[in-house]
Chain A
Amino acid sequence: MKAKNDVLTGQKILIGLFSFLLVATLVIVAGVEMKKSISEAPEIEITAESKQCISCHDQKGIAPGVVEQWKMSKHAVQGIGCLECHSAQKDDWDAFTCPESDVLVARHPTPKDCAECHEQQVQEFAESKHAHQFWVLKNADRAIFEMPIATRHGCEQCHNIGNIWPDKSVGECDACHTKHSFSKAVARQPETCGECHMGPDHPHIEIYTESKHGNIFKAKGKDWDMNYSTADNQNIPIEAPVCTTCHMDGNETQPMTHNVSARLAWESQAPWSYRTVWNEEKLGSWEKKRERMEAICKSCHAPDFVEMYMLTADLVNLQYNEIRRFFVKWTKRLTEDGVIDRIQADGKFLSNPVLNGWDEEPEKLMYYAWHHEGRRFRSGALMMGADFTQWHGIWEMQEDMIELMKFAAEAGYKEAQVWVDTNDPTKFVPYAIYDVPGNAWGINTRANLTPYLYKKFPNYWEEVRKNVKAAFERGLLSEKQWRYWEKRYQNKEYYLGTKFNTDDVFDIYSKRNDIDLEAMRKQVVEFEPPAKMFYMPKGKRISGWKFNRSRTNGRH
């Protein structure tokens, strides 16, 4: 009986224990419940008028997508509804009365409306070259070549980013901050810049995609939150830069800016590469602008790398100028001698003198060597687009140069004929040369043993130094860059890698190369398929089929 009682007592205690365990659990449950009710954040809504717009647009199906996009915007969260941007006064240029109510609505919110809240950004944008309608200023008359209807959905669609509105505000914010979600992430997406910065004349998106930066973004970017703010000197939160990271976003040292010109040191899209003077009074000299860009680079890159990379790109720009000088010299000469004519009307030359026209071979060649190939050459060098610097750049410019000289030779210029006829390889560099010992990526001990100019001219570097020095003295390179160049020049055997002997390693590869060449020779070059060819130019019979003699005769 005692034992049985003990069991019962044990069970009672167990019941008690489980009861309190249950109570404890329920207390935790209550805790969860409490937390749930405390963390009630304010919900943000919009004014009654905006609500009216939204419900009507939804119901009538008038661009209801606009409302959906807006709902996802930060504006919606902040309680910024429709009329905050779309309100209009009676005589506003874009005012219309909503047909379903008596509300005056602005059809086109302009940067002026955005500036109500985003004043700094609008201001910065208006001071940037994005806002500059240079295409209207300089080349309006080329609309004779691409007639106006083509420019409507052509030129204008992109260049409207610098729209001057009837209310005198400048710019088109939604070119990047796509309405109506106005998402930062969309604005930062490289493809947004690439809507315009693409194609044969300025393949910036293609260059970016080719670059290491673009590659990392492609691989990992989908996991990045691109909605971050860089307003207050934060670290760059993404692993590789997108376009805006370098050209607009801030970092630890640089403030964020909507002035895309603030960090650009070259007018590398122009017919001649020249140092930027855009809005100098506010943005400072090109060196100041370059400093800003380098400050961004240095978030991730070592100072030495940045210095060398930029110097190399700068020298590419200077080199471009010299190549262009050659094109201009010959085109001018041909024009002056009346071999080719410029387009003109009413006693005025149509179009800018540097453009010259497009209807004759030398003009066309010069145009492409600037507007397409020359830009690719320079942009590729500035933004890590190796293939654009090389094959889509310098290679095609050089080919154009050959064509130009052939044209001049055919036109009877003796000098050109000499150029065409000579076998001297230096004929391909009939212009001043820039160079720098080595590259930013490391020391390549073999690459600098081969170039013809290095081998042929022992004073090569001394001559090049004269050009670089002159460029520095002309203000095209900074003093810091000049000193950096000098440092490399003084130690050029080191930077060129020629002081290191790696012949034994190289020999392995050159032997392999011999094997390769041998294989190619044996497999293909010396191979001749046995069957007779069907093509018989002399009209012989083959396998019962006869050539039509009269026709072949006619051809001859």
Chain B
Amino acid sequence: MTEKDKRPTSRREFFANLFMGGGVFVAAITFLRDVWMYLYPDLGRRRYTKYMVAKTRDIPLGKARRLLVGRVPLYVVHLEDGFRVYSGICTHLGCLVKWEEAKNRFYCPCHKGIFAPDGTVIGGPPPRPLDEYKVTIENDLVFITIEQRQGRWS
């Protein structure tokens, strides 16, 4: 069917063509989208891991406790309004902060960054409060939820 053969298409045929073309186009796009999503690595899917970090009775009010989850140092702090868990990594340049019980503060020895027990910056260069983890308490056990992007396959 070359250009010359083409008679003016009737309205009916026009819609039929449109329906067919549109359908095939949409179907092809949908299918190709799936194929693309299959091939493109899935960066967005988050995996959450729950760790038990402490028993509530182990940490009296106002005290903190350091522990390692994987290689990440964490601090579990018992504040008036409940338990908080902070990353022990200074928000300034990534040194490890220390809990100073006597002074009731977190202290980063690298550039003298100082954080309050609630994680806020009270001195030094850190640009933002300590990173905090989501805390849930079940049966006197303190759990944190950590987002993990690293799995065996990514």
Contacts and interface: CB of A to CB of B under 8 A. Distances in A.
Does chain A touch chain B in the assembled complex, meaning CB atoms less than 8 Å apart?
yes
Interface of A: 5, 9, 12-13, 15-20, 22-23, 26-27, 29-30, 37, 40-49, 78-81, 84, 116-117
A15 B24 contact: yes
19 contacts: A5-B13, A12-B16, A12-B17, A18-B23, A20-B26, A22-B30, A23-B26, A23-B30, A40-B48, A42-B145, A43-B47, A44-B49, A47-B52, A47-B67, A48-B70, A78-B52, A79-B143, A81-B52, A117-B141
B84 to A, nearest CB: 18
Contact of A15 (B20, B26, B30, B68): B20
Contacts of A116: 55
Given A15-B23, A48-B71, A117-B139, A22 B51 contact: no
A19 B27 contact: yes
A80 B47 contact: no
A-B interface, 5 closest residue pairs, ranked by CB to CB distance from nearest: A19-B23, A16-B19, A16-B23, A42-B48, A79-B52
A124 B48 CA distance: 37
Contact of B50 (A16, A20, A45, A81): A45
A47 B30 contact: no
B12 interface: yes
Q: Chain B contact residues: over half helix, strand or loop, or mixed?
A: mixed
Question: Contact size class for B?
Answer: 20 to 34
Interface of B: 12-13, 16-17, 19-20, 22-24, 26-27, 30-31, 34, 45-53, 55, 67-71, 139-141, 143, 145
Contacts of B30: 22-23, 26-27
Contacts of B27: 19-20, 22-23, 26
Given A9-B13, A17-B23, A117-B139, A80 B52 contact: yes
A48 to B, nearest CB: 5
Contact of A29 (B22, B34, B68): B34
A13 B19 contact: yes
Contact of B20 (A13, A30, A41, A79): A13
A49 B51 CA distance: 12
Contacts of B24: 15-16, 19
Given A20-B27, A79-B50, A79-B143, A12 B20 contact: yes
For A18, A22, A37, the residue with the greatest tally of chain B CB atoms inside 10 Å of its CB is: A22
A19 B26 contact: yes
B13 A37 contact: no
Contacts of B16: 9, 12-13, 16
A381 B120 CA distance: 70
